[in-house]
Amino acid sequence: AQSVTQLDSQVPVFEEAPVELRCNYSSSVSVYLFWYVQYPNQGLQLLLKYLSGSTLVKGINGFEAEFNKSQTSFHLRKPSVHISDTAEYFCAVSPPSGNTPLVFGKGTRLSVIA
Amino acid sequence: GAVVSQHPSWVICKSGTSVKIECRSLDFQATTMFWYRQFPKQSLMLMATSNEGSKATYEQGVEKDKFLINHASLTLSTLTVTSAHPEDSSFYICSARDPRQLSYNSPLHFGNGTRLTVT
């Protein structure tokens, strides 16, 4: 079984400042990792994913994440945030085989302050 | 890209009535769809896996007689909340993978969710 821990439930940050949203996972097998963003009363939009290869993954909207196997982490970063980045961010994992559902972390609310 | 459409986006119903939520894959066929439930300011919890042409698989603690799932075609899955009560008020989201993408390990595509309020 897999589990995901997002250490920060809320992260306030000033506009144009950098941000890091933390994600750690636990699994007895290798996993694929994802970050999704959710705007109010909407579904989830994929930001980026790590399946294999380079551990630094670039996604949409200027976000990137780095997979660290030894630390079982997949932290999300952006060098300069905008007001429009205010949203809920979810880290998720899935096992590497089969059409299986994602297991989500509890989410991190990013609030960008003008 | 792959699109999942969910309808309605919001619904208000009276206690004791039933509500049907539809989830459609618009440009791909999905033999499997996943239904999640999200309480305010909380994460997404998997409710059930909907399988085309067969019974859905429910997660532990989810009442299958209360949350009826029907996956009648390769592009449509429905979730019916039967005899709804205020505690069923929540945000319900469906998702599916596009089999044309890299592999079954491609990301899930999500509908925009349905906000259910039971009065």
- For residue A106, give the chain B residue with the closest CA: B43
Say if residue A2's pLDDT is above 80: yes
Nearest partner of A113 among A38, A10, A37, judged by Cα? A10
pLDDT number for residue B1? 63
Q: Residue B105: pLDDT band by 50, 70, 90 thresholds?
A: low
Give the other-Cβ count within 10 Å of A50's Cβ: 20
Residue-wise pLDDT for A26-50, tens only, equals 988 888 999 999 998 788 999 999 9
Spell out which residues of chain A touch residue B43, defining contact as CB-CB under 8 Å.
90, 104-107
- Asked if A90 and B115 come within 8 Å (Cβ–Cβ), the reply is no
Residue-wise pLDDT for B10-22, tens only, equals 999 999 999 999 9
Residue-wise pLDDT for A45-89, tens only, equals 999 999 888 899 999 999 999 999 999 999 999 999 999 999 999
pLDDT number for residue B76? 95
pLDDT number for residue A99? 80
Distance CA B81, CA B68 (A): 7
